[in-house]
């Protein structure tokens, strides 16, 4: 049993955590395989029942995780890195599988969540920066004006965080979706992992959208198909670990032998609450965000027919 409520945006970690206590999880189907020269480890977690959702603390839906050990080392010798293309193609494949069929997804709105002024939270804005935006050109010239087989109408938005806009991100997105009627919405965000080992090398794609209380910052209210009326795909990479989580986990590992009450008393006296609104991140997070944003943007550009 967990005495400490660890926080993670990764369904993968939520499942591992629960599994420690109870191997048989009803309503949670897991599939795993390796792919490619870059040794991409793909895990597909499907939460199919309300019981599974409750157990994992995540909404029902599909969560695909790509673990790429080399992702943090890639690109040492250049901005973009050599294995980067292969990873982008695999992300594109997994993303396409979660998106509606091309005919029903002729137009997509990509939302870059997060705060561009906080490096670890700037993944969403950085990805949008590298996207090929086509909606205005297709509306002006028509699809036939471009020598491409397939071409999705792509628009994008960086809504900013509530402290700077005074509005919920969900309000902004809802207004824009109603006004511009995309067939699908893709939200890109920096995530929180439970373990530092997953930072900056794990990509999660899900068809469940974004739910309040998750994410690096406080900027996330529900951005889901239920609210917006169109499919919402969430794509992100964990760039931080919650500070209280990292301390709590360390304490717990040392206390596997101690009784719950002893532990809880000790923990409370330590005022983990002073770690609220604190997070742990890597010192070279600027280089990491730069590299990740190229890979994710290329994956999106491939998906939308804008990169051969």
Which residues in the 101-130 window bind a second copy by CB under 8 A?
A: 115, 117-121, 128, 130
Residues 6+ apart with CB under 8 A from 249: 4, 6, 194, 195
Give kind and range of the element (H or E) at residue 12: helix 11-21
Our finding on whether 274 is near a second copy (CB under 8 A) is yes
C-beta of 301: minimal distance to a second copy in Å?
Answer: 6
Pick the binder of a second copy from 55, 95, 123, 158 (CB under 8 A).
Answer: 158
d(CA 127, CA 188): 8
Our finding on whether 264 is near a second copy (CB under 8 A) is no
d(CA 293, CA 289): 6
Our finding on whether 2 is near a second copy (CB under 8 A) is no
Our finding on whether 175 is near a second copy (CB under 8 A) is yes
Stretch of residues binding a second copy (CB under 8 A), selected from 9-17, 65-73, 98-106, 268-276: 268-276
d(CA 149, CA 4): 52
Question: Pseudo-torsion of CA 7, 8, 12, 17, nearest 10°?
Answer: -10
Helix or strand or coil: residue 10?
coil
Query: Using CB under 8 A as the criterion, what x/- string covers residues 65-84 for binding a second copy?
Result: ------------xxx-----
Q: Which is nearer to a second copy, 97 or 278 (CB)?
A: 278
C-beta of 10: minimal distance to a second copy in Å?
Answer: 17
Structure tokens at 247: 């301390």
Our finding on whether 133 is near a second copy (CB under 8 A) is yes
C-beta of 290: minimal distance to a second copy in Å?
Answer: 8
Our finding on whether 227 is near a second copy (CB under 8 A) is no
Q: Residues in contact with a second copy, total (CB under 8 A)?
A: 73
Q: Which is nearer to a second copy, 42 or 177 (CB)?
A: 177
Question: Are 52 and 25 in contact, with CB atoms under 8 Å apart?
Answer: yes
| Phi–psi pair at 154, nearest 5 degrees | -110, 125
Region class of 88: left (phi > 0), else alpha (psi between -120 and 50), else beta: alpha
| Phi–psi pair at 241, nearest 5 degrees | -120, 135
Our finding on whether 142 is near a second copy (CB under 8 A) is no
| 35-54 positions binding a second copy, by CB under 8 A | none
Our finding on whether 196 is near a second copy (CB under 8 A) is yes
C-beta of 194: minimal distance to a second copy in Å?
Answer: 13
Our finding on whether 28 is near a second copy (CB under 8 A) is no
Q: Which is nearer to a second copy, 39 or 76 (CB)?
A: 76
- Residues 16-47, buried b or exposed e (16+ Cβ, 10 A)? ebbeeeeeebebbeeeeeeeeebebebbbbbb
């Amino acid at each position: 049993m967990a005495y400490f409520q660890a926080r993670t945006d990764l369904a993968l970690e939520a499942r591992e955590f629960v599994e420690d206590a109870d191997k048989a999880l009803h309503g949670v189907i897991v599939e795993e395989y390796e792919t490619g020269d870059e040794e991409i480890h793909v895990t597909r977690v499907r939460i199919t029942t309300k019981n599974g959702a409750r157990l994992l603390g995540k909404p029902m839906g599909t969560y695909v995780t790509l673990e790429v050990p080399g992702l943090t080392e890639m690109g040492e010798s250049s901005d973009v890195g050599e294995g980067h293309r292969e990873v982008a193609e695999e992300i594109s494949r997994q993303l396409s599988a979660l998106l509606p069929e091309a005919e029903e997804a002729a137009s997509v709105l990509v939302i870059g969540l997060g705060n561009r002024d906080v490096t670890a939270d700037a993944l969403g804005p950085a990805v949008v920066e590298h996207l090929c935006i086509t909606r205005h050109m297709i509306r002006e010239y028509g699809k036939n004006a471009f020598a491409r087989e397939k071409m999705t109408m792509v628009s994008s938005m960086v809504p900013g965080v509530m402290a700077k806009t005074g509005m919920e991100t969900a309000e902004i997105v809802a207004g824009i979706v109603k006004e511009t009627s995309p067939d699908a919405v893709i939200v890109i965000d920096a995530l929180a992992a439970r373990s530092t080992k997953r930072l900056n090398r794990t990509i999660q794609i899900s068809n469940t959208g974004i739910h309040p209380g998750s994410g690096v910052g406080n900027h996330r209210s529900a951005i889901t198909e239920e609210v917006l009326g169109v499919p919402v795909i969430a794509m992100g990479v964990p760039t931080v670990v919650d500070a209280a989580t990292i301390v709590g986990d360390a304490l717990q590992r040392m206390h596997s032998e101690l009784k719950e009450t002893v532990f809880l008393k000790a923990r409370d006296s330590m005022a983990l609450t002073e770690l609220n609104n604190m997070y742990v991140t890597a010192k070279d997070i600027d280089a990491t965000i730069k590299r990740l944003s190229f890979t994710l943007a290329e994956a999106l550009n491939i998906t939308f027919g804008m990169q051969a």
